[in-house]
Structure 1
């Protein structure tokens, strides 16, 4: 078997060095190789063959590259994603963090809920995520799942995470009276200096907690985070959509991808696209 030219050159170079220098060079070479594995370009992850065409098509509205860059996520960090659903962002984050970091999916513990439709839904959601992870070990074998009680959420050991991310979840927590507890849990699991990244459907102004539109006022989200101890570091219009009038008959679910509307209106809502969204970066002091 032929020896690769680059490896041969490295060996010849090392042979000319003193023993101490050889050891140092070996260490640097190993570190370079490990760093190369740990820093797989995010663009390559987004193009990964494990992502479906349908999921890639949503990049146009969700802007994952720009969003994760804005949040400052690095591939060596421990990142907790809250209720990842079917795993749209998990398909990006888990492979990207696989070599050098840690991806943690925080899901609702079905056993913490009373028997019924809510528990069944959360069980299906968890089962689906576990199935996704099991079927693609090359991408997801190092991903982990933590189950939390939404009434008293604990997302991991205190101060164990570098980043907490939540995408389009705040409206659900507000409707169930759990938003304040969730933001406190984010604060607890983050290290000092850690980042909370929030993307949420943006209302025109403040809305009642029992609002059924799926939209939330940006000032309301900021107030909840600050009440939990966070400081707003920056906001971005990466995920803004000025075509979204926010007055749809079935709220945000009228729009893609839910498309809860009459078939005759398909072209109208397709032209609007997905919802207008706030993108907020908070820091734990």
Structure 2
């Protein structure tokens, strides 16, 4: 009974901050079964790369997208999709009734990866629109007031590394793109609140309170948080930062088994709303 109650709390966005900080998010079968059939079908699509599907156990795409309230008739902007881990889920799901916009990096290898993926399979990606988000000069990632949701997965720490003003400007771009009542969904590597703030500029981890501060500075309201991507095994103090963990495994063979046993990082999953 306790697990069914917890799953309902997650999907309703009612889990308390303390519980969200410490609960292990892996394998929440009840929440998975209760999620949107459209999301579940998109995640189960066998056209997704096997290497991407292998990470579902860490990234919980069904529960995460359901928590953000994503529906197939929405306009959704994904920030910096890179190689397209979530593009493979979102673009086909939104293709017929909604719109998927990839707000990609400025020209370089990550934008090229997005463009290559989109060109690789017109049956899934022919309606994808690619725009640009440059933290050094944020512009329109979508027509103002057009998006139902803006989603950013493991990117806010990068924006902060470009400077606090740049990070604030990026959140303003998110705010501008959204309709009133629209959702900003954020997932990022979580730095414990008692750690040195300087680590946010070097470790790849960011404090949840910093994400909230940046979002609120742009006018957003924190609506809910979910523990679905929490990982208590992650101590967030690795010698090479978050990149020491899978999937990067920056240390190569050094302590590889140890880091694989930890899995991907502990992550904050936050839902903000534009009033």
TM class by smaller structure: 0.7 to 0.9
Q: Output the TM-score relative to the length of structure 2.
A: 0.82
1:3 matched to which residue of 2? none
Q: How many angstroms apart in 2 are the aligned matches of 1:201 and 1:40?
A: 28
Q: How many angstroms apart in 2 are the aligned matches of 1:246 and 1:78?
A: 34
Query: Residue 174 of structure 1 contacts residue 209 of structure 1 at CA under 8 Å; is this kept in 2?
Result: no
SS of 2:116's partner is helix
* 2:97 counterpart of 1:100: yes
1:57 matched to which residue of 2? 54
1:257 matched to which residue of 2? 247
Q: How many angstroms apart in 1 are the aligned matches of 2:202 and 2:133?
A: 25
Structure 1 counterpart of 2:181, from 184, 187, 193: 193
Q: How many angstroms apart in 1 are the aligned matches of 2:103 and 2:59?
A: 20
- Once the two structures are overlaid, the 10-residue window that deviates more, 127-136 or 217-226, is 127-136
Q: Output the TM-score relative to the length of structure 1.
A: 0.79
Q: How many angstroms apart in 1 are the aligned matches of 2:87 and 2:217?
A: 28
1:230 matched to which residue of 2? 220
Q: How many angstroms apart in 1 are the aligned matches of 2:54 and 2:211?
A: 28
Q: How many angstroms apart in 2 are the aligned matches of 1:264 and 1:149?
A: 35
Q: CA deviation at 1:40?
A: 7.0
- Once the two structures are overlaid, the 10-residue window that deviates more, 271-280 or 143-152, is 143-152
Q: How many angstroms apart in 1 are the aligned matches of 2:96 and 2:37?
A: 9
1:159 matched to which residue of 2? 145
Q: CA deviation at 1:130?
A: 1.5
Deviations 1:116-135 (A, max 9, x none): xxxxxxx2222221221112
Distance 1:196 1:210, change over 3 A: closer
Structure 1 segments unaligned to the other structure (5+ residues): 1-38, 111-122
Question: How many residues get paired?
Answer: 235
Query: Residue 168 of structure 1 contacts residue 201 of structure 1 at CA under 8 Å; is this kept in 2?
Result: yes
* 2:31 counterpart of 1:45: no
Q: How many angstroms apart in 1 are the aligned matches of 2:244 and 2:157?
A: 16
Query: Residue 58 of structure 2 contacts residue 263 of structure 2 at CA under 8 Å; is this kept in 1?
Result: yes
Q: CA deviation at 1:262?
A: 4.5
- Once the two structures are overlaid, the 10-residue window that deviates more, 41-50 or 222-231, is 41-50
1:114 matched to which residue of 2? none
Q: How many angstroms apart in 1 are the aligned matches of 2:145 and 2:244?
A: 39
Q: CA deviation at 1:209?
A: 7.3
Following TM superposition, the consecutive aligned residue runs of length 4 or more in structure 1 with deviations greater than 4 angstroms are none
Structure 2 segments unaligned to the other structure (5+ residues): 1-35
Deviations 1:225-283 (A, max 9, x none): 01110000000100000000111000000000000115141110111000000000000
